[in-house]
Structure 1
Amino acid sequence: MDLTAFLALVLLCVTVQGSQKNITAWYGKTIKLPCNGGNLALDNLIFVKWKYENDDKSPEDLLIKQANDNEVTILASEDYASRISMGDDYSLHVSQASLSDQKIFSCMVVYISNLKEYRLKVLVNKKPSSVEIIDKSEALKKDIATTVGTCIVIDSNPAATITWTKNKSPLKADEKGVSITPSVKLNPATGLSTSYSTLQYAATKEDAGAVFTCVSTYELVHNETQLEPLPVHYPSERVRLDIVPKGPINEGANVTLRCAGDGNPPPNSFLFHKKGEKILVENSDTLTLTLVSKEDTGLYKCSLPENEKLEASQNITVHYVNLDLSPSGRVVKMVGGNFSVQIDLETSVDPQISWMKNGKLVSQPEFESLLYADAGLYTCKVSIPGVTSSEKNIELVVEGTPVITNLSENKEVLTCEAEGVPEPQFKWSINVIIITTSYTKGKAIQKVNVTETGLLVTCSVSNKYGGDVRSINVTTANSGIDEQQNGSPDHATIVMVVLILFVVVVAALGIGYWLYKRRREGEFYPVDPRETDNAQTSETSNHTP
């Protein structure tokens, strides 16, 4: 009996041993299929053959090995011929596993008196090659469902499952504002599965900066891929208008209007309403008013071009002080006349008004009878405290005919005092020696020494308006020797010294001459008193009867 006939007879007596077992292999690796779990009895063994079952349940031989032969005979077609081999323990090795290897393989063992078959079902698994997120959103939108991204798990078997988390908290498709769309696509060439999951999310303002993560699960192993924190975009609900500078605004200043919306991203184009005029500003949030004046005072608004009803407004008050005085500048008045000042004033708010005269606080100038002392520089200051101020000056000059107010003598010095503007000029009725002359605030004073006594001396003063005269009797002679301010003797002193010396010299000469003459005539001798008494006694005796 030949081998073929023997095999046919044996097939009639095949006994399938045990239940079918499953073998899991990894894609691209070598599948190792043990015959009878690797516990094959070798006694009375004739040969071992491996085969697989087609989709139509028909068997397909792979290879066979005789018990007494080390060679393995390949029976398979091209697809398996290059990928199969048999181990020393009669196990089947299939290299480069693919999904097409997911079949039922059987190990047929033929003994002299028996035949056994062990069936194995092969499952080929493949881990995903990558996990990534595509179609990523740059931002979320408030209350509007926005695609966050699509998570893709590529080439796996079986297909991976995908879930989403927000800030590490799972998202469910039935939650408000959450939509998750899963799908799986098979690669027709490899049979591998690619899983897709698209997340749509309607955000709130509080979701700004939220981190969304795609979680891929395969064979209880999780892989995560997360997005960068996403901003939440929403339109402006309020508009704010700011004025720079924030403090009081004076005429001549530059004023900036800055408009802002609370949307995200912030709006960058605005409509400014300037006293009824609309000004569109694009790619900027400011409008600058240069060199403002009081005419710029008023209500200003800003709004969004796409929603003019959403607006903000601010009142701008331009502060100003317009001050004029009447009269102004240099004013000349006559002494005894009247004088008053009128203020022409225009301000943005009630101001404070003050007057200064030569740096000292005074009341507003108003005189019914001017004095020379009333002359001076008057300054009117009008101020809005903490805001602005303005000043105007009046130089009041009081002029008039000079009047002598005092003429006196004190220790050989005559003092003449007068009031008048312009400065009075002094004249004396006799020759005098001027000691000092001064003129302050309309008051002139001159001090002199007189060279003669017992006279009526007159002081006169005058200016362009007229003059005045006053006299005084001088009774005291000038005998003192005074020096001028430069320290040299004056003319009067020299004359007095010369006269005194002359008198002394003449007196000395006269006395000398008289003495000389007496001595020549013998009329003058020194006499002893005793001789005088004796002479008198003798003369008396001669005249006795």
Structure 2
Amino acid sequence: MDSAAFLLLAFVSTETLLQVWGTESLTALYGEIINIPCNDGAPAPEDLMFVKWKYEKDDGTPGDLLIKQGRNEQATVQATDDYAQRVSIDDQLNLLITQASLKDQKTFTCMVVSSSNLMEYPVSVAVYKKPSSVEIMDTTAVLLKDKPTTVGTCVAADANPAAMITWKKNGNPLVADGKAVLITPSIKLDPATGLSTTSSTLQYAASKEDAVAVFACMSTHKLTNQETDLKPFPIHYPTEKVSLQIMSKGPILEGDNMTLKCHADGNPPPSSFFFHIKGQKLLVENSDSYTLTDINRAAGGEYKCSLVDNEKMDASQSIFVSYIDLSLTPTGKVVKAEGDTFSVKVEKSASGDAKVSWTKNGKAMKEPVFSKLTYADAGVYVCEVSMTGLMRRQSFELVVEGKPVITSLTKHRADDANYKVLICEAAGVPEPNFMWSVNSTNEESSYTSGRATNKITVIPKLNLTVTCSVSNKLGEDIMTINVSSVFKEEKEKKGSQEESEDQAKLIVGVVAGLLIAAAIVGLIYWLYMKNSRQGSWKTGEKEVGTSEESKKLEENNHTV
């Protein structure tokens, strides 16, 4: 302070009474500018002489910062320590301190001197800093069931005041109980900056249900709250139960492959197992399955699996193998002669109730019974024995052979046709060959189920005796038929038509003559009767004659 200010202050001090206002509080942010108002920002008095800012040192002694005389004068920095480069005053007489640190947590006083008063306005400054980071460190890879395991350490670094840390599970705060939940907090102060780093270590004894649990660390501070989540941890626990599965969608059938799968409820699951199969103990490593191929009915029974490190921890399953045996006699191709006897034998054996069914040429039928074979009995017969999920099938092809026999030989002529169709039908297996004793055209043949038909077209100019012969490797048959000339039939047909016409004309003439004769007789009778009646009416006399004559006359009239 210069000498003039000092003298003025001494003068004011003798004439006025120093007044000190209550201490105000101010919160500043670490590293930012501290803006400390003088008299809570009230305007300076009109008779202002000077304003002085001072502070309380760590040892309790006062320290000067700066002084400003009058409204328009430049401030004079009086500080000689760190504040010399960081303090200034604005037009509202507020004190400005740059680069706020925790060392600035002091009481700063604004002294206002006027011609009539000397006022002091103290302000207590607190510097806050939010945590520079909130993170969970040293996290575990897995949690153990029923055994406290370190989840991690949550750290809220470089804060003022120190942050508070809370652990959560699925959004709910965890409270230390000394058993399943153990929380160890700590606070570390940086001597250089005065900032605090808060840390909290969580130990947790998990259950199986915690496999989907989300753990979180929450930092609570006056300036901000921050929360950091962890992904769910796998929960490790020893095996408590073993089960054995048969990997089959339906009944286990003879000839199938069968896979056994051993399941342990531990986590992580065991990588190796013992499989106990028909008295043998097999070690399977890096797998939980064992497959038996092409099993037979003898594979039925009890199977077991167990842990390698604890064979008492085991499980078992009883296996039942379904099977069917079928024996059909005969099988393959069977050749028999028409009229022979034939028998079929079916033998079956099954592990359950099996159904027997038959088909012939793909169509369902009852079990075939043959007494005297016919060509219609030929075909492919299939016997099928089945039950749920299992089926056996065998078959035979029955061929019925016989020498050919002609069953009919017919002729046919269409209206007005100048040809005749001869049809020869025969039965026989193998298919018979047809031969005719006459040249022909338009030959047609068919053969079904041992029945053969052969058609030919002929134009006989003369009356013929035609022979149809059939043959196969077993024999032959012959039949003849008389075939008349189509031309002779035409002539006979024409003559017959003319004779019919003459007879018709004769009949018409006779009928006409009879009708004319009857008409003449009727006319004569009518004239006679007319004349007789006229004579009686003219004379008025009665006819004279005996009764016999009258009778004869009447008879004669009737005769006419």
TM over 0.5: yes
Match of 1:74 in 2: 77
Going from structure 1 to structure 2, the CA distance change for 1:68 and 1:134 (only over 3 Å counts) comes to closer
1:94 Cα offset (Å): 0.6
Q: Could you give the per-residue CA deviations for residues 509-543 of structure 1, whole angstroms, max 9, x where no partner exists? A: xxxxxxxxxxxxxxxxxxxxxxxxxxxxxxxxxxx
Q: Distance in 2 between matches of 1:486 and 1:344?
A: 46
Going from structure 1 to structure 2, the CA distance change for 1:356 and 1:59 (only over 3 Å counts) comes to closer
Match of 1:193 in 2: 196
SS in 1 for 2:60: coil
Match of 1:255 in 2: 258
Match of 2:40 in 1: 37
Match of 1:223 in 2: 226
Match of 2:104 in 1: 101
SS in 2 for 1:308: coil
The reply to whether residue 301 of structure 1 matches residue 304 of structure 2 is yes
Instruction: Tell me, yes or no, if the aligned pair for 2:148 and 2:203 is still in contact at 8 Å.
Output: yes
Going from structure 1 to structure 2, the CA distance change for 1:88 and 1:385 (only over 3 Å counts) comes to closer
Instruction: Tell me, yes or no, if the aligned pair for 1:125 and 1:157 is still in contact at 8 Å.
Output: yes
Instruction: Tell me, yes or no, if the aligned pair for 2:466 and 2:480 is still in contact at 8 Å.
Output: no
Q: Distance in 1 between matches of 2:481 and 2:7?
A: 183
Q: Distance in 1 between matches of 2:82 and 2:173?
A: 46
Match of 1:484 in 2: 467
Match of 2:387 in 1: 385
Q: Which runs of 5+ in 1 are unaligned?
A: 334-338, 398-434, 441-480, 495-545
1:179 Cα offset (Å): 2.5
The reply to whether residue 26 of structure 1 matches residue 29 of structure 2 is yes
Going from structure 1 to structure 2, the CA distance change for 1:12 and 1:283 (only over 3 Å counts) comes to farther
| Letter of the 2:467 counterpart | Q
Match of 1:289 in 2: 292
| Letter of the 1:130 counterpart | S
Q: Could you give the per-residue CA deviations for residues 167-207 of structure 1, whole angstroms, max 9, x where no partner exists? A: 33332223862222222222333211222223333333334
Match of 1:314 in 2: 317
SS in 2 for 1:485: strand
Q: Could you give the per-residue CA deviations for residues 275-300 of structure 1, whole angstroms, max 9, x where no partner exists? A: 23333334433222122233433322
Q: Which runs of 5+ in 2 are unaligned?
A: 337-341, 400-423, 430-463, 471-477, 484-560
Q: Distance in 2 between matches of 1:45 and 1:363?
A: 136
Match of 1:205 in 2: 208
Instruction: Tell me, yes or no, if the aligned pair for 1:482 and 1:490 is still in contact at 8 Å.
Output: no
Instruction: Tell me, yes or no, if the aligned pair for 2:21 and 2:119 is still in contact at 8 Å.
Output: no
Match of 1:528 in 2: none
Instruction: Tell me, yes or no, if the aligned pair for 2:384 and 2:393 is still in contact at 8 Å.
Output: yes
Q: Could you give the per-residue CA deviations for residues 258-313 of structure 1, whole angstroms, max 9, x where no partner exists? A: 23333455555433222233333344332221222334333222233344333222
The reply to whether residue 173 of structure 1 matches residue 176 of structure 2 is yes
Between Structure 1 and Structure 2, how many residues are aligned? 416
Q: Could you give the per-residue CA deviations for residues 217-247 of structure 1, whole angstroms, max 9, x where no partner exists? A: 2227533333334554444433332223232
Query: Which structure has the highest helix share of the two?
Result: 2
SS in 2 for 1:81: helix
Going from structure 1 to structure 2, the CA distance change for 1:42 and 1:273 (only over 3 Å counts) comes to same
Match of 1:163 in 2: 166
Q: Distance in 2 between matches of 1:383 and 1:247?
A: 18
Q: Could you give the per-residue CA deviations for residues 113-160 of structure 1, whole angstroms, max 9, x where no partner exists? A: 875544332211112233333334455443233333333222221112
Q: Distance in 2 between matches of 1:82 and 1:436?
A: 136
SS in 2 for 1:225: strand
Q: Distance in 2 between matches of 1:332 and 1:30?
A: 118
SS in 2 for 1:121: strand
Q: TM-score, normalising length from structure 2? A: 0.58
Higher mean alpha-carbon deviation, 265-274 vs 388-397, is at: 388-397
Q: Distance in 2 between matches of 1:57 and 1:223?
A: 38
Out of 280, 283, 288, the residue aligned to residue 280 of structure 1 is 283
The reply to whether residue 85 of structure 1 matches residue 88 of structure 2 is yes
Instruction: Tell me, yes or no, if the aligned pair for 1:35 and 1:118 is still in contact at 8 Å.
Output: yes
Q: Distance in 1 between matches of 2:283 and 2:140?
A: 32
| Letter of the 2:387 counterpart | P
Going from structure 1 to structure 2, the CA distance change for 1:103 and 1:310 (only over 3 Å counts) comes to same
Q: Distance in 2 between matches of 1:41 and 1:437?
A: 144
| Letter of the 2:60 counterpart | K
Instruction: Tell me, yes or no, if the aligned pair for 1:322 and 1:345 is still in contact at 8 Å.
Output: yes
Out of 61, 66, 84, the residue aligned to residue 64 of structure 2 is 61
Instruction: Tell me, yes or no, if the aligned pair for 1:130 and 1:154 is still in contact at 8 Å.
Output: yes
Q: Could you give the per-residue CA deviations for residues 335-367 of structure 1, whole angstroms, max 9, x where no partner exists? A: xxxx999999876568678999999756999xx
Instruction: Tell me, yes or no, if the aligned pair for 1:86 and 1:93 is still in contact at 8 Å.
Output: yes
Q: Distance in 1 between matches of 2:220 and 2:40?
A: 31
Match of 2:548 in 1: none
Q: Distance in 2 between matches of 1:437 and 1:113?
A: 156
Match of 1:426 in 2: none
Instruction: Tell me, yes or no, if the aligned pair for 1:152 and 1:197 is still in contact at 8 Å.
Output: yes
Going from structure 1 to structure 2, the CA distance change for 1:7 and 1:235 (only over 3 Å counts) comes to farther
Going from structure 1 to structure 2, the CA distance change for 1:344 and 1:35 (only over 3 Å counts) comes to closer
Out of 49, 58, 78, the residue aligned to residue 52 of structure 2 is 49
Match of 1:242 in 2: 245
Q: Distance in 2 between matches of 1:196 and 1:179?
A: 14
Match of 1:469 in 2: none
Q: Distance in 1 between matches of 2:480 and 2:302?
A: 86
Higher mean alpha-carbon deviation, 15-24 vs 284-293, is at: 15-24
Instruction: Tell me, yes or no, if the aligned pair for 1:377 and 1:393 is still in contact at 8 Å.
Output: no
Instruction: Tell me, yes or no, if the aligned pair for 2:127 and 2:160 is still in contact at 8 Å.
Output: yes
Alignment RMSD, CA only? 5.2
Q: Distance in 2 between matches of 1:280 and 1:158?
A: 63
SS in 2 for 1:299: strand
The reply to whether residue 184 of structure 1 matches residue 187 of structure 2 is yes
Instruction: Tell me, yes or no, if the aligned pair for 2:469 and 2:479 is still in contact at 8 Å.
Output: no
Match of 2:153 in 1: 150
| Letter of the 2:88 counterpart | S
Q: Distance in 1 between matches of 2:312 and 2:85?
A: 79
Going from structure 1 to structure 2, the CA distance change for 1:36 and 1:350 (only over 3 Å counts) comes to closer
**How much identity, in percent, do the aligned residues show?**
49
Match of 2:131 in 1: 128
Q: Distance in 2 between matches of 1:167 and 1:294?
A: 55
Q: Distance in 1 between matches of 2:40 and 2:482?
A: 160
Q: Distance in 2 between matches of 1:305 and 1:438?
A: 78
1:493 Cα offset (Å): 9.2
Instruction: Tell me, yes or no, if the aligned pair for 1:233 and 1:265 is still in contact at 8 Å.
Output: yes
